Amino acid sequence: MHITEGILSPSVLIGGAVLTTAGVAIGLRKLETEEIPSAGIFSAAFFVASLVHVPIGPASVHLVLNGLLGMILGWKAFPAILVGLALQALLFQYGGLTSLGVNTLNMALPAVLCHYLFGWGVRVRAKMPIFTLSAFACGFCAVLGSVVLLGFSLYLTGEAFLPAAKVAVAANLPIMLIEGMLTASCALFLRRVKPELLEGEYAPRS
């Protein structure tokens, strides 16, 4: 899911950096002081989950948890994911600093979209089947969106990368199912022990 340095064209890198800057600015504007600790915890969870890579051909797969971050944080997932990816690039050379904008956009934008698409169903007062399916959809569709954006980023750089993009999409199909189930499990756990997290963040905001 991480695109390393030296692969993408300058135009794709610049476009990703500009869009990510806008997303981070919106996220920071919505981030209240008392929400910083919880945002940091989710950023740390994203950081740890993305560290274990399983190579499959020219690509590699790993847990992302961007659906969980989008589910809870909304637009605030942009700065949380940016911090996690920056630390991974600096400490473990996953991705890279020049591709940080594109990598952040690929993971954070689908998370935010899932927040608005499925957030209505993930509230404490929602019926259990709707709640569980909505949380699963957040995890599944966030990774699906990230993989599609990953392939699109490679395709925009050159058609020679199209086979690698197809491999990346196929390799991440099992991860989508795992992420959906994991996000649903986390949502059910939070519903029992920290329901105010769901109620506070699930109502989509303009």
What architecture (CATH level 2) is domain 10-202? Answer: Orthogonal Bundle (1.10)
**Predicted TM-score of the model (pTM):** 0.85
* Closest to 67 in 3D by CA, of 170, 145, 173, 139: 139
* Closest to 143 in 3D by CA, of 183, 84, 97: 183
Structure-token match 């637009």, residue found: 75
Per-residue pLDDT of the chain (206 residues; tens, 9 = 90+): 678 888 888 999 999 999 999 999 999 999 998 889 889 999 998 888 877 666 555 555 678 899 999 999 999 999 999 999 999 889 888 878 899 999 999 999 999 999 999 988 998 788 999 999 999 999 999 999 998 898 888 888 877 777 877 777 777 788 889 899 999 999 999 898 888 888 754 444 43
